[in-house]
A and B are shown apart, each in its own frame.
Chain A
Amino acid sequence: MTQYLDFEKPLAEIEGKAEELRALARQNSGMNVADEAAALDAKAAVMLVDLYKTLTPWRKCQVARHPERPHCRDYIEALFAEYTPLAGDRNFSDDQAVMGGLARIDDRPVVVIGHEKGSDTKSRIERNFGMARPEGYRKAVRLMQLADRFGLPVITLVDTPGAYPGKGAEERGQSEAIARATEACLRIGVPLVSVIIGEGGSGGAVAFATANRVAMLEHSVYSVISPEGCASILWKDAEKMREAAEALRLTAQDLKQLGVADRIIPEPVGGAHRDRAATLASVGNTLRQMLDELSQTPPAQLVADRRRKFLNIGATGLAA
């Protein structure tokens, strides 16, 4: 049972009708609804293509936040073997909003780190909806340093609304923790590749995504602030999130033009959640490609390239 987004309502109606017809047919074996249902399916398919062909930035935010979208955990399960979670920041706790550990992609050992939002009420609360606390960033730094010492590439999967605006998180220095994580990204002499799989929320995303290669899923977003937050500050009205999403240029397509994203990974029609297996596979392919591209680069060059890449970002702006 798909959860529909508000702009998918007309689609939900048609798909619902087709489903109803089929349910009716199952109860009355004499009824032949195949043609009618197929017509509805075809209509729905056209509508889905149409809807997703020109998603507005705000709609992309909604798709990026879709609860059924594949999350970090799904990617780790599908794409990696021997995943061995490594826990804790050695200071305070283990942050469940950040997954990470050793794993193999094909036969290649790597360190994988990502934000995990959770998939039901219980896991969402456990994972703090993917909002890391300082311990999450500190765990990531520890894992990046481990990777650096043993020459393992680092893969980060970014999916976070942002850092957690909580009392403890501030007391325990989340600013410093984020700054150190970004610093670690820029220091390690191993390939660092990143995929924005859903939401790239502000500093919490930068802390993981300061990478040699940054790929974004087609409908993922990456922004300095949430459209709601931006709207409430600049428009003094949180309901102006559509306008804010538009102005912020947070889509994968805009970010590719700005040089922040290096490549875009196409999503199945209707978004990643409509064909999870296909999405997982394309992300896997992109990860392999990005790792292959960097596998021969010497450590000092990896560091220098990464720093130069970020120093150069923004020189051109959006093409008019």
Chain B
Amino acid sequence: MNWISNYVRPRINSIFSRRETPENLWHKCDECGTMLFHRELSDNQNVCTSCGHHMHITPRARFQALFDAGVFAEVPVPEPKADPLAFRDQKRYPDRLKAAQRETGEREAMLVATGDMGRTPVVAAAQDFSFMAGSMGMYVGNAIVAAAQEAVKLGRPLILFSAAGGARMQEGILSLMQMPRTTVAVQMLKEAGLPYIVVLTHPTTGGVTASYAMLGDVHIAEPNALICFAGPRVIEQTIREKLPEGFQRAEYLLEHGMLDRVTPRTQMKDELVSITRMLMGMPPPVKGDLPPPPPAPETATPDPEPAPMPEGGKTTP
């Protein structure tokens, strides 16, 4: 990793995301109906300023809020074999993929990046629900493996934001195989003694929940996020009764012992900084706004692997 990729690339990132300027300047909150000015909404990370409803946020926008001064470097993800089953339902899978790429401007349903978060070096991965419902296929699996390998290489914690309707059916059994593949990725982190923190966002369901999303050292969810294996509609059809209000929502899972915390998006960064620094045995975080990191990257000369111990890190495997 050199100066260019660490510092210039992020600028390209921010230029790139400017492309997504909304055509509608006003956005209606689907929870309370308040009309919100797009700037106001994006400044608040797509959380309604009136009722606190958490709306969808892209991985790029999330990373801009997460990383100090919005600076991050993307971690390359190995390209999987395209359309491995030559899958076709009412549309061809490659056509569905292309449509999703056009709509989102993204290559696939997960973005992996490194950067500083509250002056704490981390690797982060975020799943993109707007890309084919964030579904987990070979690419998402590769992204998680790449994220874990990068975290192990750099001796950094991995923070993963999950969001998915489940497995990518168009990749058939290969999407199912991402459950064991991503589990191996989690094991790499654990064996390197590095924290793996999962932030479960709305919605996280199916095979995603039943693999990497439920294997974190710490599980944090955004308020009211739907988190489940089988979705509420399937359950209602099976048991033929109406499910209680709030069933399978973050607060409900917290009550049932499946999560450590439910934390609003706007407080997430501070909380993640605090938790990761404690787990890494680092001194308390510096409060307040932080300047961008100096151009000289702290990872200019990465140790030849394995480098399990982060700078100043005292971790118990």
Of the candidate stretches B151-159, B179-187, B261-269, B299-307, the one touching chain A is B179-187
Q: Does A222 contact B (CB under 8 A)?
A: yes
Chain A 149-185 per-residue mask, 1 if CB under 8 angstroms from chain B, else 0: 0000000000000011111011111111011101101
The residue in chain A whose Cβ has the minimal distance to the Cβ of B96 is A234
B84 on interface, CB distance cutoff 8 Å: yes
Interface string of A248-260 (1 = CB under 8 A from B): 1110001100101
B35 within 8 A of A: no
Contact B169–A307 (Cβ < 8 Å): no
In the complex, chain A residues whose CB is within 8 Å of the CB of B238: 165-166
The reply to whether B85 and A310 form a contact with Cβ atoms under 8 Å apart is no
Q: A175-B209, A179-B214, A225-B169 are in contact. Are A314 and B80 (CB under 8 A)?
A: yes
A178 partner residues in chain B, CB cutoff 8 A: 179, 210-211, 229
Task: Determine if B243 and A167 form an interchain contact, defined as CB atoms under 8 angstroms apart.
Answer: yes
A206-B176, A250-B173 as given contacts; A183 in contact with B183, CB under 8 Å:
yes
In this assembly, does A317 line the interface, its C-beta being within 8 Å of a C-beta of chain B? yes
Check A7 for interface membership: any CB of B closer than 8 A: no
Which among B66-74, B86-94, B109-117, B287-295 touches the partner chain?
B86-94
Which one of A165, A180, A183, A311 lies within 8 Å of B181 (CB-CB)? Answer: A311
Nearest Cβ on chain A to B145's Cβ, whole angstroms: 7
CB closest chain-B residue, reference A240? B89
Is the CB of B22 closer than 8 A to any CB of chain A?
no
Q: Are A163 and B180 interface neighbours, CB within 8 A? A: no
Q: How many residues of B contact A (CB 8 A)?
A: 53
- Is B18 an interface residue when CB atoms closer than 8 A count as contact? no
Check if B239 sits within 8 Å of A166, measured CB to CB: yes
The residues of B that contact A249 with a CB separation of less than 8 Å are 85, 172-173
Q: Is A38 an interface residue (CB 8 A)?
A: no
Q: State whether A318 and B85 are in contact (beta carbons under 8 Å apart), knowing that A173-B258, A202-B176, A224-B169 are contacts in the complex.
A: yes
Q: Tell me whether B81 and A224 are in contact (CB under 8 A).
A: no
CB distance from B63 to the nearest CB of A (A): 25
Cβ B179 vs Cβ A182 within 8 A: yes
Q: Which residues of B contact A230 (CB under 8 A)?
A: 169
Q: Is A210 an interface residue (CB 8 A)?
A: yes
The residue from B211, B228, B256, B257 contacting A182, defined by CB atoms under 8 A apart: B211
Rounded to whole Å, the gap between the CB of A95 and the closest CB of chain B is 15
Contact flag A317-B215 (CB < 8 Å), given A176-B258, A311-B184: no
Interface string of B203-246 (1 = CB under 8 A from A): 00011011111110000000000011110001100110001000
A173–B253 Cα gap in the complex (Å)? 8
Q: Give the distance to chain A from B289, nearest Cβ to Cβ, in Å.
A: 38
A318 to B80, CA, bound (A): 13
Q: How far is the CB of A20 from chain B (nearest CB, A)?
A: 42
Asked if B175 CB lies within 8 Å of chain A CBs, one says yes
26 contacts between A and B (CB under 8 A): A165-B230, A165-B235, A165-B238, A167-B235, A173-B214, A174-B230, A176-B210, A176-B214, A178-B179, A178-B211, A179-B210, A179-B214, A183-B215, A203-B179, A210-B180, A224-B167, A224-B173, A224-B175, A225-B167, A247-B85, A247-B87, A247-B88, A258-B174, A307-B184, A310-B184, A313-B174
Q: A167-B235, A249-B172, A318-B84 are in contact. List 12 more A-B contacts (CB 8 A).
A: A165-B238, A170-B230, A173-B258, A178-B211, A203-B211, A223-B172, A223-B176, A243-B89, A248-B85, A258-B174, A260-B173, A314-B174
Top 7 A-B pairs ranked by shortest CB distance? A317-B84, A165-B230, A175-B209, A234-B89, A178-B210, A224-B176, A310-B180
Q: Which residues of A contact B (CB under 8 A)?
A: 163-167, 169-176, 178-180, 182-183, 185-187, 202-203, 206, 210, 222-225, 230, 233-235, 243-244, 247-250, 254-255, 258, 260, 307, 310-311, 313-318, 320
